[in-house]
Structure 1
């Protein structure tokens, strides 16, 4: 199996050795030992700082998609109304998940490379009266950082919950859970946190807990059992103590750097990436500069290349980037500069390789 010296995929990102070492330790039984529950409490406090919230933050085993499904199943019943705000695969995916669960769904879709006008979203929400509005902060397939802040006011005006996927943004871009009125803020371990794809997190407001009580969903991905689990020292299943230890280390490093410093590091490497692409004549997918994500850059496959050709040429030179999904498959390639990969030397080396390859044709 081949590995790559220059890894710039948009997740799962490279895992620093310090975090990997946490997986090699023997800690004891997570079901029974007080040290584990103290670790849970400490880690929740760190997550609250990251997500800028006073709300409880749950941590569950499972890749980030598990908490997206869990949030919908925990808060909504078949027949409930869901308004999905979309400008890509994951934004639309919220709506498609709702449809699969029997919910009445309306999707507000943006033009390619853009984000829906907040007034259009507001009108749709007032007419539709959903129980939940969903959105994605960083739509990674299109390299878009979406302005979700106005959605909090729309949700409050219409009495809806606001559920936001912050999986690929938190830590690399500002996420103001309470300030933006986010009722359920969803996070995963494999992006800016630079861990394995084995943990998912949710910041949950009192309004969302109340909705969960109405539904009372109790499946493996349910959020409600986690509300009192740590306090009662009784969790729904045996937890991954090693992963939680690695999460603590990641959060301590990130908060030790300082959130503003991390945001600047991510923006600086992203800006450099975009400037180098522009100099090569490579166009970006986002239609507006302000929508370009600091954690992932999505660019159009250059004229005269196919994605398969470009990917193969890069890998021959020891560099891995990402393709894209759905309607953007084969049209867009993505450079992931998040977490451990928001490193100027790494991004510079990657851009040098890309420039050499494009210049050879």
Structure 2
């Protein structure tokens, strides 16, 4: 068996994306022990950096070791007790995921839905909050299955008025779209590295408000008799040990109580992702994603392709392109295969009602740059022509170039 040698790829799907080379270099740094002063200092740096990324003053801002779904599960299993009412606004696949996880926690889950390609008006969410009276409102900001970005600022005010804990999954949106944890009244937000943050999947940044931390700590319990006597249970124990955020907060906090062995290389990756984002400036990163996302949007339209959903509420970093009718699902897969085999470019399909109907093309993280956009559009044009789909010659690249020319100072 030979040394692993992945083929070169330009990952222009909805995530994961091509990792920034600087992040890969950080991951190759030597390991240290989990309580080495360098390790604990690095953990402190990570907490500071992600406070900036999430735009929060929350003390409890750290990493959950695992993919972005680990962060989601940690948040929900630590907040929700059996019988709690949870409200989930569903506008794509990942709202259904939040629903499933909440149900596994034993919650009484209520959902409201809009058609895929739309988002919720705050009035609809407030009406549901008044009717359901949930303990937790769990919402996705950017759902890559539909590419829609749910406005959050009014939802936080609604949750505060009705004393509802507000959880948000920002996996697909953080770093590439505006996100204001404190200003928008979020109680817990989680994300992943593999989208706009430009890293690999495997670490889940999380931020927890003091109010949510109090709820979680009220459920703390003794781990196998090891923790201090003052930590005796005062509420129903959290069902998971690994995802018990009360324990994880102790691990990242000043007491450094042992919980698990930190994923050191992923810690380095998460630090470098956040360091690069902070160096660029959060607002500048959002503007970069907006620019290259608009270039991709207008580029596919310049090829005569239609775009799915309410474009005014689309995430900056991914676009859903309707597969030409003459191709059908099989032809759509053939175009994707051509892009991968001939150009080393990966784009995505979608799920549920959109499966076989759209391609999802991402411009995020390290790939939110001009050459990646223009290369993808040129390759897509060639693949479409090979599939006998008539498209304007140079239409995609020309439309994208116009966006870049307009953006020049």
TM-score range, shorter chain: over 0.9
CA contact (8 A) 1:296 1:337 kept: yes
CA distance in 1, matches of 2:300, 2:351: 21
Distance 1:26 1:77 in 2: 41
Aligned to 1:262: 285
SS of the residue aligned with 2:25?
helix
- 1:57 partner SS: strand
Cα distance in structure 2, aligned partners of 1:2 and 1:15: 13
Query: Quick one: which of 321, 326, 333 aligns to 1:304?
Result: 326
- 1:316 to 2:341 alignment: yes
> What corresponds to 1:325 in structure 2?
351
User: Residues 18, 64 of structure 1: CA spacing in aligned structure 2 closer, same or farther, 3 A cutoff?
Assistant: same
* Residue 42 (str. 1) matches residue 25 (str. 2): no
Report the CA distance between 1:2 and its aligned residue.
6.5
Distance change (3 Å), C-alpha of 1:51 and 1:352: same
Kindly indicate whether the alpha-carbon contact (under 8 Å) linking 2:46 and 2:62 is maintained by their aligned counterparts in 1.
no
**1:315–1:162 distance in 2 versus 1, CA, 3 Å:** same
Mapped contact 2:148–2:314 kept (Cα < 8 A): yes
2:31 match: secondary structure:
coil
Which of 173, 177, 180 aligns to 1:176? It is 180
Which residue of the other structure, out of 5, 10, 21, is the alignment partner of 1:6?
10
CA distances 1:196-224 after superposition (whole Å, capped 9, x unpaired): 21111211011111221344325211211
Aligned to 2:191, the other structure's residue is in SS state strand
Aligned runs of 1:1-361 on 2, under 5 Å? Answer: 3-30=7-34, 32-55=35-58, 56-216=60-220, 217=238, 219-230=241-252, 231-287=254-310, 289-305=311-327, 306=329, 307-318=332-343, 319-360=345-386, 361=388
Judge which range, 303-312 or 56-65, deviates more.
303-312
- 1:233-279 CA-to-partner distances (Å, cap 9, x unmatched) read 22410001221122222212111111121111111111011101112
CA offset at residue 356 of structure 1?
2.1
SS in 1 for 2:205: strand
Matched length: 359
Which is greater in Rg?
2
Task: Map Cα deviations across residues 279-316 of structure 1 (whole Å, 9 max, x no partner).
Answer: 222221222x2211111111222211223222122223
- What value does the CA root-mean-square deviation take over the aligned residues? 1.5
Is contact 1:283-1:300 (8 Å) kept?
Answer: yes
C-alpha deviation, 1:341, in angstroms: 0.8
Unaligned runs of 5+ in 2: 221-237, 389-409
Q: Distance in 2 between matches of 1:21 and 1:48?
A: 24
Query: What do the CA deviations read for 1:4-27 (whole angstroms, capped 9, x no partner)?
Result: 543212211111222112222323
Query: Bigger relative contact order, structure 1 or 2, given CA contacts below 8 A and separation 6+?
Result: 1
Note the alpha carbon deviations across 1:98-139, whole angstroms, 9 max, x for none.
Answer: 123221111111122101221111011111100000111110
Cα 1:156–1:44 change in 2 (3 A) is: same
Distance 1:84 1:170 in 2: 20
User: What secondary structure, in the 3-state scheme, does the structure 2 residue paired with 1:317 have?
Assistant: helix
Q: Distance in 2 between matches of 1:327 and 1:212?
A: 37
C-alpha change, 1:196 and 1:2, in structure 2 (3 Å) is closer
CA distance, structure 1, for counterparts of residue 139 and residue 206 of structure 2:
14
| 8 A contact 2:120–2:150 mirrored in 1 | no
Give ranges in structure 1 of 5+ residues lacking alignment.
none
